[in-house]
Amino acid sequence: MTGPRQLLGVFRTFLGVGATTFGGMWAATGKLERDLVDRTGWLPKEELRASFVLATLIPAPRFLGLGGLVGFRVGGWAGAFLGALGLVLPASLLVLAAAVVVGPELLGGPLAPLIRAVSIAIVGILFGNAYRQLRGEKGSRRHRQTGIALSAAIFVSVVLGAPLLVSAVVGFVVGALLLRPGPTGEDR
């Protein structure tokens, strides 16, 4: 039987992950492994990794599914609820605060430069993550250089005024075409 302290621990762990992790479930893998496997010993490493895979199969947002799965394994139904709640509570409170504070008249007026700066910052974060991923990639040098050039092009396009979503979609399509392996597994 799971005690109140363990349930509170599940909530606190996932609240901390939800408040400090940007980029979803895969960005949180290291933190979750440290918290759930190393620090608390609630799950073996293999079981946490299986939960990551299972969370991708559940018809729900992956990160929310992971919180529910791991919370259930640690604390039953109450743990599942508290794990999922801990993940979504920080972002939900931020969105609610923004909805209360920011009206539509501010978005096109005084906040337009801030929105622009946030868009550029998001692309910068994505560029930094892409660079880190490509540095650790075992693929060809050509793939790494192409990936870095593509990330830089997306960053520049957003800085020059292209909409973030359009730049991201075009970058994804071009990246998928340029960086995929050939029919026998070799680099294209």
Q: What angle do CA 72, 73, 77 make, to 5 degrees?
A: 25
Pick 47 or 107 by higher pLDDT: 47
Per-residue pLDDT band for 188 (boundaries 50, 70, 90) equals very low
For the chain, the structural domain boundaries read 4-101, 106-178
Contact (Cβ atoms closer than 8 angstroms) between residue 188 and residue 180: yes
Pick 141 or 87 by higher pLDDT: 87
Handedness of CA 159, 160, 164, 167 (dihedral sign): negative
The DSSP secondary structure of the chain, one letter per residue, reads ---HHHHHHHHHHHHHHHHH--S-TGGGHHHHHIIIIIIS--S-HHHHHHHHHHHHHSSS-HHHHHHHHHHHHHHHHHHHHHHHHHHHHHHHHHHHHHHHH--HHHHHTTTHHHHHHHHHHHHHHHHHHHHHHHHH--S-HHHHHHHHHHHHHHHHHHHTT--HHHHHHHHHHHHHHHSSB-TTSSB-
Range from 38-47, 89-98, 172-181 carrying the lowest mean pLDDT: 172-181
User: For residue 185, is pLDDT > 70?
Assistant: no
Pick 73 or 109 by higher pLDDT: 73
For residue 58, the model assigns a pLDDT of 73
Contact (Cβ atoms closer than 8 angstroms) between residue 51 and residue 70: yes
For residue 24, the model assigns a pLDDT of 67
For residue 85, the model assigns a pLDDT of 92
Kindly state the tokens that stand for 134.
């490509």
Per-residue pLDDT band for 25 (boundaries 50, 70, 90) equals low
